[in-house]
Amino acid sequence: MRRIWKSLYFNNRFYYLLGGIVFLMALGLFGEFFFHIARILLGVFAALTALEIIMLFSGGINKFNGSRTLQQRFSNGDNNEVKINLRNRMPFKAAIEIIDEIPAQFQKRDFLKQLTLNPGQAYGFSYFLRPVNRGEYHFGALNVFVSSPIGLVKKRFRFSQNEMVKVYPSFQEMRKFEMMAISNRLSEIGIKKIRRVGHQMEFDQIRDYTKGDDYRTINWKATARKNHLMVNQYQEEKSQQMFSLIDMGRTMKMPFGGMTLLDYAINTSLVLSNIAMLKHDKAGLITFNQQIQAMVPAKRNERHLQTIMEVLYNQETGFDEHNLQAVYTTLRRHVHHRSLIMLYSNFSSLSAAHRQMPILQKIARDHLLVIVFFENTEVTKVTHQATSDMEGIYIKTIAEKFAFDKKLIVRELDRHGIHTVLTEPGKLTVDALNKYLELKARGFI
């Protein structure tokens, strides 16, 4: 009985009918006719309620199946599919209400789907969730409320209780760029095709000349020995090192489109690491704030990308200033070959960039340094707004000052031989990937 009571709920129809019967009983105080009618209706009402309870809870026919299917892991910042499957094994047409207990991080408290299922009918549907933070997401129960055609009471079934899914950096975006790179279609998503400058190639072998070979590759000494044209064959330089350095200081806590700048940097570094390994380079990772939080040496093998993803999964911003001196010390100690360093950070002002300039110059002397930082799109939006009063002029002037400071930072870094990428968070991946391919094409690494 206790089990039945815990899963028994009453529909609105139950309360409407009960209220009508009570009203007729009240009218019975002024006449016996209404009282007799109310007694008859109350008996019928009680009988129908008892019948429906028996239909829903009797051991032989209370069969109903349901399940929630989750992906093995969710991709941060992307739509992730959640599948619901139901089957009505009861011998009557059932009215169904579905309430899924979605993780608290989504702040969705209005999930409700209503439908009807015939006896033996199966039904499935999907909905999508877009997480904006990495970490563990806990689902509650999948609640399914089933009513018979009488519609006075309903029984609650609970399926797929207490499931957990981990939200990783955006592997959906990574796969999209990977497929584009493999099929040579990166230009479709904004990646520029850059002409390779010179012969930044490693010597492979000497072979016979064939029609169409570049005459500049003719090996005249080998030609003289063999008495026919011979050419040098080259292959693209491989196994160069690329490190993603991710600042986890307070400036990376700034939100954009529901995600922090750190999450955009993490998603981009995952994509760039994957593309670098597809280009036969080695990819590494360093995360830091006041001290080094994680370091993954530059490698290229089948499991290395998964290692990078597992490290990025748990990285969180702090509220301290970053410590570039710790980064420089780590690079000097552990990275002994000239490498491409992609530093994701966010300079809030020109003075902040000046304070870090000596350390950045030291890193740039040993490695090819590219600093990736962000435009404040809200500030940029203000600079393009029309103003009609004195307050608006002041606000627009201050916004233009902040926007101009960003350009001055780029100019100052370029003056010291440091490459830069100043971009909106939403364009970060494309712009960073363009920079990587440009540096590769120009033979800087």
pLDDT per residue as tens digits for the range 102-121: 999 998 888 899 999 999 89
Instruction: Evaluate if residue 351 carries a pLDDT over 90.
Output: no
pLDDT above 70 coverage of the chain, percent: 90
Kindly report the number of other CB atoms within 10 A of residue 186's CB atom: 20
Higher pLDDT, 181 or 369: 369
Q: With cut-offs at 50, 70 and 90, classify the pLDDT of residue 146.
A: very high
Q: Which sequence spans correspond to the domains of the chain?
A: 2-57, 64-168, 171-194+238-441, 201-236
pLDDT tens per residue, range 30-64 = 667 777 888 888 888 889 888 888 888 876 555 88
pLDDT for the residue numbered 201 = 57
* Gap between the Cα atoms of 374 and 281, Å rounded: 26
* Gap between the Cα atoms of 335 and 328, Å rounded: 10
Q: Across 80-141, where does the E strand assignment appear? A: 80-88, 94-100, 113-117, 122-129, 135-139
Instruction: Evaluate if residue 284 carries a pLDDT over 90.
Output: yes
pLDDT for the residue numbered 285 = 95
Q: Give the mean pLDDT of 421-427.
A: 90
**Surface-to-core class of residue 313, CB atoms within 10 Å of its CB (0-12 exposed, 13-18 middle, 19+ buried):** middle
Higher pLDDT, 197 or 320: 320
pLDDT for the residue numbered 5 = 66
Q: With cut-offs at 50, 70 and 90, classify the pLDDT of residue 270.
A: very high
- From residue 126, alpha-carbon distances to 79, 98, 112, 430, 432 in Å are 12, 12, 13, 31, 34
pLDDT tens per residue, range 89-105 = 888 899 999 999 999 99
Q: Is 271 helix (H, G, I), strand (E, B) or coil?
A: helix
Q: Give the mean pLDDT of 328-356.
A: 89
Mean pLDDT score across all residues of the chain: 85
CATH 1.10.1370.30 fits 64-168, yes or no: no
pLDDT tens per residue, range 246-268 = 999 888 888 888 888 999 999 99
Q: With cut-offs at 50, 70 and 90, classify the pLDDT of residue 240.
A: confident
pLDDT tens per residue, range 296-336 = 999 988 789 999 999 998 888 777 788 899 999 999 999 98
Q: With cut-offs at 50, 70 and 90, classify the pLDDT of residue 189.
A: low
The tokens of 46 are what? 């009680």
DSSP structural state of residue 218: B
* Gap between the Cα atoms of 339 and 286, Å rounded: 13
pLDDT for the residue numbered 268 = 93
Architecture of domain 171-194+238-441: 3-Layer(aba) Sandwich (3.40)
Q: Across 6-107, where does the E strand assignment appear? A: 8-10, 64-70, 73-75, 80-88, 94-100
pLDDT for the residue numbered 194 = 56
Instruction: Evaluate if residue 195 carries a pLDDT over 60.
Output: no
- From residue 109, alpha-carbon distances to 99, 104, 112 in Å are 9, 9, 9
Q: Tokens 């993954």 label which residue?
A: 296
Q: With cut-offs at 50, 70 and 90, classify the pLDDT of residue 378.
A: confident
Instruction: Evaluate if residue 443 carries a pLDDT over 90.
Output: no
Q: Is the pTM of this model over 0.85?
A: no
pLDDT for the residue numbered 7 = 76
